A and B are shown apart, each in its own frame.
Chain A
Amino acid sequence: MSLLKVSNLEVAFDSPDAVVRAVNGVSFDLEEGSTLGIVGESGSGKSQSVLAMLGLLATNGRAKGSAIYQGENLLSMPAKKLNRIRGNRLSMIFQDPMTSLNPYLTIERQMTEVLELHKNMTRRAAKKRSIEMLEAVRIPEAAHRIDQYPHELSGGMRQRVMIAMALLCEPQVLFADEPTTALDVTVQAQILQLLRNLQHDFGTAIVLITHDLGVVAGLCEQVMVMYGGRVMEQCNADNLFARPSHPYTIGLLRALPRLDQSDAPLVGIPGNPPNMAHPPSGCPFQERCIDASQRCAESVPPLESFGGDTTWLRACNRPVEQMKSLHEVAHV
């Protein structure tokens, strides 16, 4: 049985002009100790899907569908009950470590609070445990650092504090929203290594939200590619990189400058991302897709299993054999 089963998740925001449908029909199963990557560009709905599951949507946001964790739906759970789970069994690392740590409180207060609340530990025991966790994420002089304030730490160190904080209760699922985007590459390498080791040691399942396909390649088994609030393609990482089947995935991979290949010209995807307050009709990608036909503007292509493989899903009207994206390049 899967650890977390998300079915048909929808997120909508009420705004004065329109209802913004940020996420439409996201489903996935997360197994114990596995890693799911959610890839997409800004506004694709990747962060909102995860925030919805943890009840962290903005006040004008509404979530529909279900996210079943231990037989109960997180989306309809009262806050009181959710508070016992989030930060404890399910925890999250945010993108920007400076704005997600409280600048008024020392690292010690922010960390011990978690243990006092969820584990009923004494402050002293909680501090001891917190120091151990800071050491686990390789913060030098942890016993001294714990009494400092967030502004006294570097960006990479703050991100490590966030990770340590998220791991204090040894969660079953760790949601990481662009955990390395704000960091330099050498620090990113340290953090990714750390996540890999922690997953190995604690058996934590990770949902990694990122726009960086390189990070996905190194860490994830399953990948979900999102665009305009919908899932475009969902499959295991090997297939995604070796045999992408959706025009958007193909476009994304071609647009990526790479170190491991010679300098083939980059191919941008023409056009601009959709305005989610007024999304295009039908498939959200159709306006930028060279494979789009009349049908794509009329109806949203369903997310269907592909090639007889039930774990490989794609949402595209055009059969893979007939896709132009594989051979042709749109002029940008």
Chain B
Amino acid sequence: MSEQTILSVRDVQVHFNVKAKSKLPWARSRTLKAVDGVSFDLKAGETLGVVGESGCGKSTLSRAILNLIPATHGEIVWMGKDLSGATTKQWHSVRRDIQMIFQDPLASLDPRMTVGQIIAEPLREHRPGMSKDEMNQRVRAMMAKVGLREQMINRYAHEFSGGQCQRIGIARALIVEPKLIVCDEPVSALDVSIQAQIVNLLKSLQQEMKLALIFIAHDLAVVKHISDRVMVMYLGHVMELADKHSLYARPRHPYTRALLSAVPVPNPAIERTKVVQILSSDIPSPINPPTGCVFHTRCPIAEARCSVEVPPLRTLEHGVAAACLLA
């Protein structure tokens, strides 16, 4: 794997204004901090897994990287170039290198376009000079690569199963030969047997095309399988960022530990006797997040200072960083 950093995300914040509850003129609008100060680097060919529960900001972060939702604050540096304040035209060229795969395989495909048109669309946008024949050839080659039969080229998305639709989404992302693919829950809508097919496909294509992946998921087992490093998010903050082996073998943050212990293991001997770290109550509202460490209201080991001090993400050992005062 090359050591070149292709993407640097520096202190990115995405805040939304939420309308005030009351209609009174002096009622103040409030801010929802979906992503609040996230930083990481991504190397060429690397897979970064991003996990967290609903509302932790993982999807918002992925969209901020592509400027689909503009970041309120912070820098996104792509290939050494800071993209904050980049023009639409500059973004256009960046988006050839960064592609995205979405969660709902069917909803992310245009129902009125054939598979061939869907897969060719990025080419029409990013390679306007390309001849029709070449485009057609490339689409067919890409379909073969992702495991779709060439004869399906004139069919519409609704004629395909969920797994096949996701293959179409992957083909569409890969056709412009990107360097990075942001995958937002690409397998969570799929059945297990199909999920494994898609994970394997992504892995082999990644090796073949030297792709970097940002793989967002809520399933810790899938993320373990595909990632080199894993970032755990909670209420818009990074709780832990570590290489896969350390994170799963020796989680440092109490939230990571709680998440891991909550995942049911398909082995009755382990699962029936396992002591699950049950977190009390529900995830707090990101409109009114707790002070200090955002996790302290549910943390089993929180101390008094956790509600005051915001723990920085600090490196504990090579390749392992956690945002916990007690780690």
Contact = CB atoms under 8 A, between A and B. Distances in A.
Interface of A: 41-42, 140, 154-157, 184-190, 192-193, 211-218, 237-238, 241, 251-260, 263, 265-270, 272-273, 288, 332
B265 A156 contact: no
A214 B259 contact: no
B200 A259 contact: no
A257 B219 contact: yes
Tell me the dominant secondary structure on chain B's binding face. helix
Contact of A255 (B192, B261, B274): B192
Contacts of B82: none
Contact of A211 (B191, B198, B263): B191
A272 B224 contact: no
A17 to B, nearest CB: 15
Given A184-B218, A186-B279, A263-B225, A41 B193 contact: yes
A42 B191 contact: yes
A332 B197 contact: yes
Tell me the dominant secondary structure on chain A's binding face. helix
A16 B279 CA distance: 49
Given A41-B193, A184-B54, A252-B192, A257 B225 contact: yes
B271 A218 contact: yes
A272 B105 CA distance: 15
Interface residues of B, number: 45
Contacts of A214: 263-266, 271
B147 to A, nearest CB: 8
A267 B199 CA distance: 10
Contacts of A254: 196
Given A185-B53, A257-B219, A272-B161, A217 B264 contact: yes
A250 to B, nearest CB: 11
Nearest to B192: A255
B224 A255 contact: no
16 contacts: A155-B54, A186-B258, A190-B279, A193-B276, A193-B278, A212-B264, A213-B192, A217-B264, A218-B264, A218-B274, A238-B268, A252-B192, A257-B225, A268-B197, A269-B197, A332-B196
Contacts of A270: 197
Nearest to B266: A213
Given A215-B264, A273-B161, A189 B276 contact: yes
A216 B266 contact: yes
A256 B192 contact: yes
B265 A267 contact: no
B263 A185 contact: yes
A273 B192 CA distance: 11
Contacts of B270: 217, 260
B269 to A, nearest CB: 8
A70 B267 CA distance: 34
A41 B193 CA distance: 8
A186 B221 contact: no
A326 B248 CA distance: 29
Contact of B265 (A154, A192, A258, A268): A258
Given A157-B282, A214-B266, A217-B267, A269 B224 contact: no
B191 A259 contact: no
Interface in B147-176: 161, 163-164
A156 B279 CA distance: 12
B271 A41 contact: no
From B198, B267, B283, residue with most partner A Cβ within 10 Å: B267
Contacts of A260: 265, 267, 270
Given A140-B281, A241-B266, A259 B218 contact: no
A184 B225 contact: no
A257 B193 contact: no
A237 B268 CA distance: 7
B302 interface: no
B220 interface: yes
A273 B191 contact: yes
B218 A266 contact: no
Contacts of A288: 193
Interface in B235-294: 248, 258-272, 274, 276, 278-279, 281-283
Given A186-B258, A272-B161, A263 B224 contact: yes
A272 B152 CA distance: 15
